[in-house]
Chains A and B, each alone.
Chain A
Amino acid sequence: MDEMQEIIKTYVIKEYVEDDTELTYDSPLISGGIVDSFSMVSLKRFLENKYNISIPDDKATPEAFDSVNKICALVREYVK
């Protein structure tokens, strides 16, 4: 577990999980229907604000956003 994983997971639970569904770092977010394609825009915005990065639109794919771990890998590509 690292800090980034926990921050992103906590944010996803707070913003997108409506009930007491448990989330792991590998839970499918997009394919699992927790975050829909429209809401991905706000999740992307959160990551950009939090880590002061800019994620190109063509990298913000449903596959790249499909779990906390995948998101962390994506964010790390852009964090200096």
Chain B
Amino acid sequence: MSNIGSYDERVKNFDWNISEKELDYKPGDIINIGWYCSDRICEKGFGNKPALIWEGSTGNEKRYSYNDLRLNSNAIGQFLRGLGIKPEDRVCLFMDKIPELYIGFLGILKMGGIAQPLFSAFGDESLFVRLDNAQTTAIITQKKHAPKVRKIMDKMPYLKHMIIVDADPAKPLLDREVAFDMGKAEKIEKFVIHPTFAESPSVLHYTSGTTGQPKGVKHVHYSLISQYLTSKWVLDLQDSDIYWCTADPGWVTGTSYGIIGAFSNGVTQCVLDAGFSADNWYRFIEKHKISMWYSAPTAIRSLMKAGDEVIKKYDLSSLRHLASVGEPLNSEAVIWSEKVFGKPFLDTYWQTETGSMMISNFPGMKIKPGSMGKPFPGITATVIDAETYEPFGESGKIGLIAIKPGWPSMMRTYWRNEETYKKKFQNGWYLPGDRSSIDNEGYFWFVGRDDDVINTGGHLVSPFEVESALLEHPAVAESAVVAKPDFVNMEVVKAFVTLKPGFVGSKDLDLDIMNFVRKKLSPLAMPQEIEFIDTLPKTRSGKIMRRILHAKEWGEEIGDTSTLEND
């Protein structure tokens, strides 16, 4: 029996206080996610239960019980407090998927800080704009990533501490650097957790838009109410589950469901900190007897590409429930997973700003392969006309996805960017920026983004950011960046580039530009293809018409070109 039982019954009788009651929370109480994810589980008598089973790329393993989670997060919280870090200071987590990332996240929240996780593959420029926007006080990182921070340290006087979790004792630390070894640190039994309340800020995740710099999405401790219940009802987390969320906590899935949802539900979760290979993933499932697996379409399509033969080498019978997030899950992937694993991946739809799942396929509900599913109970979602912002009166029409604001995990603002935050609302609806239709049974069907943001492997990349980075390359005069279709990643970055006088397009220059962007921004943002052209299509006022380049890549009609400069 699934946790949600009947979806229709839950919709009829829903109130968020179902979640509040299960968590023994009453409005006005102190609510601290760090405490709910560690101390509370121990107080319920599950201190010895495995919370985190971590495996590194060489197969080395570390195990942490809920009591270990509690003691180690206390130790990190105390260490940060000892450095003089204050409640609501931003503390960045810039690490691979190592235990210190998961436990550090809880430690920051326990001392009242705002956790700012950033993807460890970010280059120094991507790192700088996000730390600068947040005016981050401290960054917790590994020695392998420290050089990227050192490169920009001088530009960040507000960054008072770089905390290195695996510092080499033989090498001297530089100014503002400090070592913290979680394995050797004194375990702290008694720690005064900062009394955060529902609206106290908790997490700052960065996301990209079409224009402007990345936006810091501010979440609060009350988000737990949504994250706990969606984990329970959609991921169907049960006491005996061994859970694997493949997402990196540098992105929102990795924190909402790779930390908060998992630990607040008291399940055992496994983490694999290694690069992708089909063999290694199946081996991991077999070894740890994973029962609930939350992954992404890019990974699922990579597994499809690896073929069915490799699956036969492993016993995957422990798998009980599968779900997916990041980009739309194509129907072929749903059908394939049913064929090879005996159960479909259930697609879930949400984004950094919503903090938790909005539209999902639920256990026990009829699955329509390729559909996003239906709104979570308590979520009012519809499709509205892009001109009038009014909901359509009939099914099947394509429009903007619109959600009634007010669920617990909704972002509270964009950090230092209230103006952009306000633009996300129209006619009383929150607009995630995606288009879909709804069929006559109430299922949502994803159509695409409503802007130029590129969704590559489930991560949003701003064309503006990539274009800006390209312009810093000595050979590049102008650039335009669009999405290009890709079987595995859904979309990848493609750049159109004009060169400065004296430069000629070549294979070596192509590679040099790719590597330049990869190191400056991230591997995700690196153009997978660069096309050297003489001129970019522009309007008569000089604005680059990305639309034309996008249409060319997707084999679509170019549409109206009446404003084209060189038409």
- Using a CB–CB cutoff of 8 Å, the interface residues on chain A facing chain B are 15, 18-19, 21, 28-39, 41-42, 45-46, 48-49, 61-63, 66
Q: Which residues on A sit within 8 Å (CB–CB) of B515? A: 15, 42
The answer to whether B147 touches A18, judged by C-beta atoms less than 8 angstroms apart, is yes
CB distance from B37 to the nearest CB of A (A): 26
The answer to whether A18 touches B57, judged by C-beta atoms less than 8 angstroms apart, is no
The 4 closest A-B pairs by CB, nearest first: A38-B523, A19-B144, A30-B275, A32-B57
Is B279 engaged at the interface, CB distance under 8 Å to the other chain?
yes
Indicate the size class of the contact surface on chain B: 20 to 34
A61 vs B139: C-alpha distance when bound (angstroms): 35
Can you name the residue of chain A whose Cβ is closest to the Cβ of B148? A18
The answer to whether B511 touches A33, judged by C-beta atoms less than 8 angstroms apart, is no
Is B405 engaged at the interface, CB distance under 8 Å to the other chain?
no
CB distance from A9 to the nearest CB of B (A): 17
Select which of B57, B507, B511, B523 is within 8 A of A28 by beta carbon.
B57
A24 vs B57: C-alpha distance when bound (angstroms): 16
The answer to whether B57 touches A46, judged by C-beta atoms less than 8 angstroms apart, is no
A-B contact pairs, 25 of them (CB 8 A): A18-B144, A18-B145, A18-B147, A28-B57, A30-B276, A31-B57, A31-B274, A31-B276, A31-B277, A31-B280, A32-B57, A33-B57, A33-B96, A36-B523, A37-B457, A38-B456, A38-B524, A38-B526, A38-B528, A41-B528, A42-B511, A42-B514, A45-B511, A49-B508, A49-B511
Q: Which residues on A sit within 8 Å (CB–CB) of B130? A: none
The answer to whether A31 touches B523, judged by C-beta atoms less than 8 angstroms apart, is no
| Most B C-beta atoms less than 10 A away, residue of A32, A33, A36, A48 | A33
Can you name the residue of chain B whose Cβ is closest to the Cβ of A49? B507
A73 vs B306: C-alpha distance when bound (angstroms): 20
| Most B C-beta atoms less than 10 A away, residue of A18, A30, A32, A39 | A18
CB distance from A7 to the nearest CB of B (A): 14
- Using a CB–CB cutoff of 8 Å, the interface residues on chain B facing chain A are 57-58, 96, 121, 143-148, 273-277, 279-280, 302, 306, 456-457, 507-508, 510-511, 514-515, 518, 523-524, 526, 528
Known: A35-B275, A66-B277. 18 other contacts (CB 8 A): A18-B145, A19-B146, A19-B147, A21-B144, A29-B275, A31-B57, A33-B57, A36-B121, A37-B276, A37-B302, A37-B457, A38-B518, A41-B526, A45-B514, A49-B508, A62-B277, A63-B277, A63-B279
Can you name the residue of chain A whose Cβ is closest to the Cβ of B459? A38
| Most A C-beta atoms less than 10 A away, residue of B145, B518, B524 | B518
A21 vs B279: C-alpha distance when bound (angstroms): 25
With A18-B144, A31-B280 already in contact, the answer to whether A36 and B511 are too (CB < 8 A) is no
Can you name the residue of chain A whose Cβ is closest to the Cβ of B57? A32
CB distance from A69 to the nearest CB of B (A): 16
A19 vs B149: C-alpha distance when bound (angstroms): 12
With A31-B277, A49-B507 already in contact, the answer to whether A42 and B526 are too (CB < 8 A) is yes
CB distance from B170 to the nearest CB of A (A): 12
With A21-B144, A49-B507 already in contact, the answer to whether A39 and B523 are too (CB < 8 A) is yes
Do most interface residues of chain A lie in helix, strand or loop, or is the interface mixed? Answer: loop
A48 vs B510: C-alpha distance when bound (angstroms): 12
Can you name the residue of chain B whose Cβ is closest to the Cβ of A14? B515
CB distance from B95 to the nearest CB of A (A): 12
The answer to whether A62 touches B275, judged by C-beta atoms less than 8 angstroms apart, is yes
Q: Which residues on A sit within 8 Å (CB–CB) of B96? A: 33
CB distance from B462 to the nearest CB of A (A): 16
Q: Which residues on B sit within 8 Å (CB–CB) of A18? A: 144-145, 147-148
The answer to whether A46 touches B144, judged by C-beta atoms less than 8 angstroms apart, is no
CB distance from B135 to the nearest CB of A (A): 25
Q: Which residues on B sit within 8 Å (CB–CB) of A31? A: 57, 274-277, 280
A45 vs B306: C-alpha distance when bound (angstroms): 22
CB distance from B173 to the nearest CB of A (A): 15
Can you name the residue of chain B whose Cβ is closest to the Cβ of A34? B275
Q: Which residues on B sit within 8 Å (CB–CB) of A39? A: 518, 523, 526
Select which of B57, B58, B145, B518 is within 8 A of A42 by beta carbon.
B518
Select which of B143, B274, B275 is within 8 A of A37 by beta carbon.
B275
The answer to whether A19 touches B143, judged by C-beta atoms less than 8 angstroms apart, is yes
A61 vs B275: C-alpha distance when bound (angstroms): 12
The answer to whether B279 touches A46, judged by C-beta atoms less than 8 angstroms apart, is no
Can you name the residue of chain B whose Cβ is closest to the Cβ of A58? B305
CB distance from B302 to the nearest CB of A (A): 8
A55 vs B514: C-alpha distance when bound (angstroms): 18
Can you name the residue of chain B whose Cβ is closest to the Cβ of A61? B306
CB distance from B524 to the nearest CB of A (A): 6
A35 vs B275: C-alpha distance when bound (angstroms): 8
A61 vs B488: C-alpha distance when bound (angstroms): 12
